[in-house]
A and B are shown apart, each in its own frame.
Chain A
Amino acid sequence: MSITSNEFSPARRLVLKGAGIAALIGLGVVPFGVPQALAAANDAYPADAFKQKSEADAIKALYGKSPEPSDKVKMDAPEIAENGAVVPISASTTLADVTSISFLVTENPIALVASYKIPAGTVPNVANRIKMAKTSNVTVIVEAGGKLYSAVKEIKVTVGGCGG
């Protein structure tokens, strides 16, 4: 029996760190001849999407369209988080022409947690650790061939204790 408090600060996210790693992996395989201007446009920080409170608004701001559920989007995440402050979640997909992978936590004060640009030729496989305020659905969105695909899983954040 016990009580813990997850000191959750809505202002802090693990976005930039994760995105940096994805970009580094991509660097070695960026094909020659990609126009510099296009690359620059893709790098624009989606500030508006990271301000939205609801998952639907964040997806709209980020992509301007809605995802469809797909069993080709694979999410690896625990059923019950061992620590809500650092929940390991990874996503991969067998879909072709993946251009981005995003993570959203429905019940967080700001739903969008991280969005990764996937350069052409990169294996679409991202692992990160996210912070969760409380039990929530977690959504992974894969953008592939200009369409959106999603997978959803509930992750429980518990106060712990009382196991027998």
Chain B
Amino acid sequence: MIIRRRELLKGAAAATLSAGLPRLARGADTASVYDLERFGNARILHITDTHAQLRPVFFREPSVNIGVGAMAGQPPHLVGKAFLDRFGIRPDSADAYAFTCVEFEKAAARFGRLGGFAHLKTLIDKLRADVGERRTLLLDGGDLWQGTGLANAMKGADMVEAANLLGIEAMTGHWEFTYGEAVLRDNLSRFKGEFLAQNVFLTEEAAFNDAKAFDPASGRVFKPSIVKEIGGHRVAIIGQAFPYVPIAHPKRFTPDWTFGIRDEELQKLVDNHRNNDKVDAVILLSHNGMDVDLKLAGRVTGIDVILGGHTHDAIPLPITVTNAGGVTLVTNAGSNGKFIGVLDLDLAKGKVANVRYRLLPVFAELLKPEPAMQALIDKMRQPYIDDWDDKLAAADRLLYRRGNFSGTVDQLICDALQSELEAEIALSPGFRWGLTTLAGQPLTMEDVLSETAITYPETYVASMTGSQIKDVLEDVCDNLFNADPYYQQGGDMVRVGGLAYTCTPGESVGKRISELKLGNGKHLEAGKSYKVAGWASVNQQSGAPVWDVVAKHLRAGRPPNRDAPGVTLNGVEDNPGITRLG
């Protein structure tokens, strides 16, 4: 433990982020990585996509995160060494471990786990105390209530408790909506902060039937924004929920609500805060995903900073986007509690005079867990832990999820679906949450739930023709690689088992997927039917929850399938969104 702490301090002191924007001051070079030099008069702390990970985690960043078109080679579509070079991070450092997949297993042993709400609480309390009363805000970008067995069993109520204790003052949402309106509203009645979403409206039918709305005149379901006074200045915080909730998830969870990016409504809101409320700064708390935020920043004027999430990109420096009204800074703050964004603002009358931003990795080894939060976490886990603590198996290799096309966790899930449901082909969603398990570590039910805990976990077995299977792959692939970010939904490519294919990301929809082959090497036939198993369907299904299928497979102790994922990439040979490192 002590050795590891020393490793961290040595490695992280060079922490960095010195390259880049002239507007940003250079990173602090102080003894402790968390003693930040004072700057400006207001501090906004940003966490996002923690996916309910109350305890510290291992989480490997992707080795494949390809950008196409104008996004090729641009943040966030850089991985491995290209990422380190772009942001001036020393290889072999603690930051390299936190931000990239480079030598992940070796570095994980050196630097340990990240995040955890008790550790976050200690760090947040310090970052707030450092600048004094009424000078800080703590914002959460959504995907706070989902991602663990505990959050699923408690329908997010555990995270409302944790959020209140952490002191989150405003949040927006994505997976929060998948608990349905009744649970969402019940949770929000206990949440001490504000739930903000400028882009969620009643459907016409729901409005006609007088469904509940924050503003019946406009049909806005939730409060769109708040104005807070910090550091003696007024700051508007606007919430932007995930724009594609009823498409990416079963529509039955949100039948009365319609979403979308809605940048025209957003512009009106920004203008109103600027012209009528005379605010000094406008911040967008966004769950759009980074590519969408970068495009939006070029179209909507008057936003100073977009604090972004959804795509789980840990980007050390803000990206500056020029638009007709000036510039907007765009950030993305990673996932699973690994990072906290610290936005220090020098606010003046009607404007932001200067900005300093850091994305701090939350090294659990460097932070004492805050006792009250630790006690809350232990208390909430207590009723479930006996059921979930059994070792089902040991990880036969590094198990991780992130990557555009495959991850070893999803290969395991596909193996389980194929063998337990006796299917030729398995499909598993390309989620970006879910933890990393080091080789040899035990796998418990709690670990399996951390990869699978959603409100529509039912498995299915269906007969699909070869051309239907290709259509599904093409459709999901377009969500990932459409050259226009507004047509992307985030997430990664659907994972496949028993199937191999070639993907050409730079092509257009219908032309990206080719060379579809079964596990036995035979070509998939367009008109022939195949038995396909899957889970997380947007249509109602009735099979066993996927976590039970995976647990059964692990308990059976079958020899691990070490076949390569079977995806061949075409036309992206020099793309810095791919690395073989780590």
Cβ contact within 8 Å between B430 and A79:
no
Chain B, Cβ-Cβ closest to A79? B486
Contact A3–B248 (Cβ < 8 Å): no
Q: Are A3 and B472 in contact (CB under 8 A)?
A: yes
Are A162 and B247 in contact (CB-based, < 8 A)? no
Which residues of B sit under 8 angstroms from A156, Cβ to Cβ? 478, 482, 487
Cβ of B83 < 8 Å from any Cβ of A?
no
**Which residues of chain A come closer than 8 Å to B258, judged between CB atoms?**
82, 88
A164's contact among B204, B429, B468, B472, by CB below 8 Å, is which? B429
Flag if B487 contacts A154 (CB, 8 Å): yes
Alpha-carbon distance A16/B259, docked complex (angstroms)? 28
B575 CB-CB contact with A under 8 Å: no
Contact call B487/A161, Cβ cutoff below 8 A: no
Task: Please indicate the chain B residues that have their CB under 8 angstroms from the CB of A163 in the complex.
Answer: 242, 244, 247-249, 479, 489-491
Q: Which residues of A contact B475 (CB under 8 A)?
A: 158-159
Contact call B509/A1, Cβ cutoff below 8 A:
no
Determine the chain A residues whose CB is within 8 A of the CB of B489 once the complex forms.
80, 158, 162-163
B535 beta carbon closer than 8 Å to chain A:
yes
Given contacts A1-B537, A82-B246, A156-B487, contact A162 B494 (CB under 8 A): yes
Q: In chain B, residues 485-500, which have Cβ atoms closer than 8 Å to a Cβ of chain A?
A: 486-487, 489-492, 494
From residue 449 to 501 of chain B, which have CB atoms closer than 8 A to chain A?
Answer: 462, 464, 468, 471-472, 475-476, 478-479, 482, 484, 486-487, 489-492, 494
Q: Among residues 48 to 96 in chain A, which have CB atoms less than 8 Å away from a CB atom of chain B?
A: 76, 78-83, 88
In the complex, what's the smallest C-beta–C-beta distance from B355 to chain A, in angstroms? Answer: 29
Question: Is A162 a contact partner of B509 (Cβ separation < 8 A)?
Answer: no
> Is A1 within 8 A of B429, CB to CB?
yes
A162 to B428, CA, bound (A): 8
A81 to B475, CA, bound (A): 13
Whether B431 is near chain A, meaning CB under 8 Å from some CB there, is yes
Collect the chain B residues with CB atoms within 8 Å of residue A3's CB. Answer: 462, 464, 468, 472, 537, 539
Whose C-beta in chain B lies nearest to the C-beta of A81? B247
Taking CB atoms, residues of chain A closer than 8 Å to B373 are: none
Chain A contact patch, size range: 20 to 34
Assess whether A160 is interfacial by the CB under 8 Å rule: yes
A161 to B251, CA, bound (A): 10
Q: Is the interface of B mostly helix, strand, loop or mixed?
A: mixed
**Contacts known (A1-B472, A2-B539, A80-B487); A162 close to B259, Cβ less than 8 A:** no
Q: Is the CB of A80 within 8 A of B535?
A: no
A160–B242 Cα distance when bound, in Å, is 14
> Nearest chain B CB to A96's CB is how many angstroms away?
23
Contacts of B249 in A (CB 8 A): 161, 163
Which residues from A are CB-within-8-Å of B439?
Answer: none
Q: Which of B261, B509, B537 contacts A161 (CB 8 A)?
A: B537
Interface string of B423-443 (1 = CB under 8 A from A): 000011111110000000000
CB proximity to A under 8 Å, residues B133-173: none
**Residues of B in contact, count (CB < 8 Å):** 47
B298 within 8 A of A: no
**Cβ contacts A21-47/B at 8 Å (1 or 0 each):** 000000000000000000000000000
Nearest-Cβ distance from residue B178 to partner chain A, whole angstroms: 10
Q: Does B565 contact A (CB under 8 A)?
A: no
The reply to whether B538 and A161 form a contact with Cβ atoms under 8 Å apart is yes
* Chain B minimum-CB-distance residue to A78: B260
What is the CB-to-nearest-CB distance from B469 to chain A, in angstroms, rounded to a whole number?
9
Contact A162 B248 (CB under 8 A): yes
Residues of B within 8 A of A81 (CB): 247
* Residue of A2, A82, A159, A164 with highest tally of chain B CB at under 10 A: A164
Interface contact A1-B486, CB-CB below 8 Å: no
A79 to B428 Cα, complex, angstroms? 26
A4 at the interface (CB under 8 A from B): yes
Interface contact B261-A82, CB-CB below 8 Å: no
Are the C-beta atoms of A161 and B429 separated by less than 8 Å?
yes
A122 in contact (CB, < 8 A) = no
Please name all residues of chain B whose beta carbon is closer than 8 Å to the beta carbon of A164 when the two chains form the complex: 310, 312, 429-433, 490-492
Whole-angstrom distance between the Cβ of B265 and the nearest chain A Cβ: 10
Docked-complex contact A82 and B537, CB < 8 angstroms: no
Q: Does A6 sit at the interface, judged by CB under 8 A?
A: no
A18 to chain B, nearest CB (A): 14
Residues B247 and A1 in contact, CB atoms below 8 Å apart: no
**Docked CA distance A162–B427 (Å):** 10
Which residue of the partner chain, among B244, B251, B261, B468, contacts A83 with CB atoms under 8 Å?
Answer: B251
Complex CA gap A158/B246 in Å reads 11
Per-residue CB contact flags for chain A residues 127-164 toward chain B (1 = under 8 Å, else 0) read: 00000000100000000000000000010101111111
A79–B487 CB distance below 8 A: yes
Which chain B residues lie closer than 8 Å to A82 at the CB level? 246-247, 251, 258-259
Residues of A within 8 A of B429 (CB): 1, 161-162, 164
A118 to B432, CA, bound (A): 49
**Measured between C-beta atoms, what is the minimum distance from A14 to chain B in Å?**
14
A162 touching B536 in the complex, CB below 8 Å, given contacts A1-B428, A79-B487:
yes
Q: Which residue of B lies closest to A129 (CB)?
A: B204
A residues in contact with B472, CB < 8 Å:
1, 3, 159
Asked if B534 is an interface residue, CB under 8 A from chain A, the answer is: yes
| Least Cβ–Cβ distance between B455 and chain A, in angstroms | 14
Interfacial chain A residues near B536, Cβ < 8 Å: 1-2, 161-162
Measured CB to CB, the closest approach of chain B to A158, in angstroms, equals 6
C-alpha gap A152/B137 in the complex (Å): 42
**Would you call A1 and B494 a contact (CB within 8 A)?**
yes
Q: Which residues does chain B contribute within 8 Å of A158, judged by CB atoms?
A: 247, 475, 478-479, 489
With the chains together, A160 CA to B456 CA distance in Å? 14
- Pick from A3, A82, A88 the residue with the most CB of B within 10 Å: A3
Interface contact B464-A162, CB-CB below 8 Å: no
For B335, give the chain A residue with the smallest CB separation. Answer: A164
Residues of B within 8 A of A4 (CB): 538-539
Distance in Å: Cβ of B177 to nearest Cβ of chain A: 11
Residues of B within 8 A of A78 (CB): 260
Q: Render A1-14 as a binary contact track against B, CB cut-off 8 A, 1 for contact.
A: 11110000000000
Which residues of chain B are near A76, meaning CB under 8 Å?
A: 264
Cα separation A135 to B484 with both chains bound (whole Å): 14
Question: Lowest 6 A-B CB distances belong to which pairs?
Answer: A163-B248, A164-B491, A2-B537, A164-B432, A2-B538, A164-B431
Q: Pick 11 A–B contacts, CB within 8 A, sort by A.
A: A1-B472, A1-B534, A1-B537, A79-B260, A135-B509, A154-B487, A162-B479, A163-B479, A163-B490, A164-B310, A164-B431
Question: Given known contacts A1-B494, A1-B537, what 17 new A-B pairs fall within 8 Å (CB)?
Answer: A1-B427, A1-B428, A2-B538, A79-B484, A79-B486, A82-B247, A88-B204, A135-B509, A156-B482, A162-B248, A163-B244, A163-B248, A163-B249, A163-B489, A164-B429, A164-B431, A164-B432
Chain A residues packing against B (C-beta within 8 Å): 1-4, 76, 78-83, 88, 135, 154, 156, 158-164
